Amino acid sequence: MAESSRFKDSRWSLHGMTALVTGGTRGIGNATVEELAGFGARVHTCSRNEEELNKCLKEWEDKGFVVTGSVCDASSRVQREKLIEEVGSVFHGKLNILVNNVGTNIRKPTTGYSAEEFSNLLATNFESAYHLSQIAHPLLKASGAGSVVFISSVAGLLHIGSGSIYGASKGAINQLTKNLACEWAKDNIRTNCVAPWYIRTSLVEHVRFSNLPTVLFTYLQPLR
């Protein structure tokens, strides 16, 4: 495939840029990988499911995209550290874009959650994003033009019946975005948050869709 035919629009280019997208084999993560790769970025992604990951990597290769991947459970601290080590090796110590996309949910009344469910939801939705941003910081700073994108949810801004733990974890992501936008601006790292409404992914089933906005962009990086 000709180099120029891979990319969607010559006016937009991420050629030469590198990106890590967590949870890139399904839903929003999968679409994000394709968008970034479609604009010429080299992308690394991860999934807990090795078979699913290999299937996606083959499909992306057939499309002419430059995408690599790792098997990683983002809820595991040890596996997150291994992932960033691999990313640093693949991208030679520099990372331009980190998309913290991994998330999960268990819908129950607040009184019905177990301690294990509470820990699992917070570890997957919030701790993973916090820790990955923390340990990716040296790579983002070394790139000279870093960008962190958190995938949050409207549930972090108002009640939509998705469960109190899920909502709290996404609210924490929103606040973390604002903190890092200010703290890391000096390192030339932009930090933004995307808060989608319900999206048709494997995480959401049997949902009645409304005419509410699909995506809400929040907390853009302050000028510096």
Residue 33 has pLDDT above 70, yes or no: yes
Contact (Cβ atoms closer than 8 angstroms) between residue 161 and residue 113:
no
Contact (Cβ atoms closer than 8 angstroms) between residue 104 and residue 127:
no
pLDDT range class, residue 138, cuts 50, 70, 90:
very high
User: Number of helices and strands (H, E) in the chain?
Assistant: 6, 7
Report the alpha-carbon distance of residue 207 to residue 222 in Å, rounded: 35
In percent, the amount of the chain with pLDDT more than 90 equals: 78
Residue 201 has pLDDT above 80, yes or no: no
Residue 224 has pLDDT above 90, yes or no: no
Average pLDDT over residues 182-211: 72
Report the alpha-carbon distance of residue 49 to residue 151 in Å, rounded: 21
pLDDT per position as a tens digit, 78-97:
999 999 999 999 999 999 99
List, by residue number, the catalytic residues: 166
Q: For each of the domains in the chain, give its residue range(s) and CATH number, in order of start.
A: 3-218 (3.40.50.720)
Nearest partner of 80 among 19, 132, 139, judged by Cα: 132
DSSP category for residue 76: -
| Per-residue pLDDT, 196 | 86
pLDDT per position as a tens digit, 171-193:
999 999 999 999 999 999 999 99
Contact (Cβ atoms closer than 8 angstroms) between residue 159 and residue 167:
yes
Contact (Cβ atoms closer than 8 angstroms) between residue 151 and residue 99:
yes
Residue 113 has pLDDT above 90, yes or no: yes
Parallel, antiparallel, or unpaired: how do β-strands 18-22 and 67-71 relate? unpaired
| Per-residue pLDDT, 6 | 54
Mean of the per-residue pLDDT values of the chain: 87
- Collapsing DSSP to helix, strand or coil, 11 comes out as coil
| Per-residue pLDDT, 216 | 36
C-beta neighbour count of 71 within 10 angstroms = 16
